[in-house]
Structure 1
Amino acid sequence: MTRVFLASHNAKKLAELSRILAPHLPSVQVLGLADVPAYDEPVEDQPSFEGNALLKARAGFAHTGLPTLADDSGLCVDALNGMPGILSARWSGPPKSDEHNNELLLAQLADVPDERRGAHFTCVIAFVHAGGELTVEGTMPGRVIREVRGSGGFGYDVLFEASDRPGVTTAELSVEDKDAISHRGHALREIAPQVAALLG
């Protein structure tokens, strides 16, 4: 059994990583933060997705000794000059709340016409292991709609229509359909064979 640590509490991210890694590493066991002794997680104070992903992966590797993956991702809205970006999870301030973040985003875009509501999700995944570090980036272009729709996914999925699946939000897609087009899916599929080769 190959153990890989994903520096996250998010059960949906752990399940997603397990699904995508499995074809490359059939014996992989993905552990999350709940599966290892608690440690002080670093403050995400870097100015880029890559910087924050590396910060989390380095901390995870230092504290667990396990090959560690970490991601930083967010929604970049054209009309907001790329924001919320790296601030996506805490856009509406503490405490973290998907509902409050979505309410604030809708309010900020209330007067923006449909043709200027373009946006994209970005995900950078960092992998830190005894032999070094690597990062990959995935994106999912689309647009922000005007009302919350769907019950799947998390974060801004209820407000986002991907260019590859117009007419439905990413919160209305099946898990398989979302994996196929998502920023995290693209990044995970790129990094999975590299992780398998390094650990195999």
Structure 2
Amino acid sequence: MKIVLATGNKGKLREFKQMCDYEVVPFSDLLSDVEIVEDGDTFAENALIKARTIYQKLGEGYLVIADDSGISLPILNGAPGIYSARYAGEGATDKENLHKLLETVKEKGLQSTPAYYTAAIAIVSKYGEYVVHGWMHGDVVSELRGDKGFGYDPMFVPKGYRQTLGELDDEVKSRISHRAQALALVKPIIQMLQRK
């Protein structure tokens, strides 16, 4: 059973490949452009929409994994949340989203405020559908630090650390991240499905 990742996000693909001990193929290697409308109300719903869409196009010989993730700030009533990838508008770049959140935090007069990342990972195969979640708590800061990672990483300081995800080594991030937490729950499910 071939494992396919339903994302076009190069940063997510790189992280998945670093964290997985099995071969993961991006859906773009197998399909031409696919329009996926993420209109769910939760990370889990959007992850399932992506996984189902790609699975329906590929068929039964595939196991499709999709991730929907983002950052939430309690002071902003959970924003950007499920809109993290388009916080600065449809088609916004990672940099534009990052700068909009940075400006929003500065407008509130904050140097630092609690935040958390959520990752929902959906698995769709002929054996059914599964969704798991992972979280990483910490604070966002009102300055950008470091150039590692992607998305909001240069302004997020994980709990127990002083550096942002933009400053921390990939090895540390791949151990503590929301995606790493969710992937730890995905691995036994994939192993079980591969034995069927």
Per the normalisation by structure 1, the TM-score is 0.90
Contact preservation (8 Å) 2:43, 2:119: yes
Confirm whether residue 99 of structure 1 aligns to residue 77 of structure 2.
no
Contact preservation (8 Å) 1:20, 1:189: no
Q: Which residue of structure 1 aligns with residue 18 of structure 2?
A: 19
Give me the whole-angstrom Cα distance separating, in 2, the residues matched to 1:198 and 1:21: 16
- Decide which of 41, 45, 52 is 1:47's aligned counterpart: 41
Q: Which residue of structure 1 aligns with residue 9 of structure 2?
A: 10
Confirm whether residue 63 of structure 1 aligns to residue 57 of structure 2.
yes
Contact preservation (8 Å) 1:76, 1:119: yes
Give me the whole-angstrom Cα distance separating, in 2, the residues matched to 1:12 and 1:106: 20
Q: Which residue of structure 2 aligns with residue 175 of structure 1?
A: 170
Contact preservation (8 Å) 2:110, 2:142: no
For residues 83-162 of structure 1, what are the structure 2 equivalents within 5 Å?
83-110=79-106, 111-114=108-111, 117-162=113-158
Q: Any idea what the Cα deviations from partners look like across 1:161-200, whole Å, max 9, x if unmatched?
A: 00032x1001111111001110001001111121112113
**Count, aligned residues:** 192
Contact preservation (8 Å) 1:162, 1:170: yes
Question: How far is the alpha carbon of 1:57 from its aligned partner?
Answer: 0.4
Per the normalisation by structure 2, the TM-score is 0.92
Question: How far is the alpha carbon of 1:14 from its aligned partner?
Answer: 2.5
Aligned-pair RMSD on alpha carbons?
Answer: 1.5
> Which segments of 5 or more consecutive residues in structure 1 lack a partner in the other structure?
23-27
Question: How far is the alpha carbon of 1:3 from its aligned partner?
Answer: 2.0
Contact preservation (8 Å) 1:50, 1:124: yes
Q: Any idea what the Cα deviations from partners look like across 1:118-153, whole Å, max 9, x if unmatched?
A: 000000000000010000000000111011111111
Give me the whole-angstrom Cα distance separating, in 1, the residues matched to 2:101 and 2:10: 25
Give me the whole-angstrom Cα distance separating, in 2, the residues matched to 1:57 and 1:19: 20
Contact preservation (8 Å) 1:7, 1:69: yes
Question: How far is the alpha carbon of 1:12 from its aligned partner?
Answer: 3.3
| Superposed structure 1 runs of 4+ greater than 3 Å apart | 112-115
Report the identity percentage. 38
Q: Which amino acid aligns with 2:167?
A: E
Q: Which amino acid aligns with 2:48?
A: L
Q: Could you say what secondary structure the match of 1:37 adopts? A: coil
Q: Which amino acid aligns with 1:14?
A: L
Give me the whole-angstrom Cα distance separating, in 2, the residues matched to 1:102 and 1:14: 20
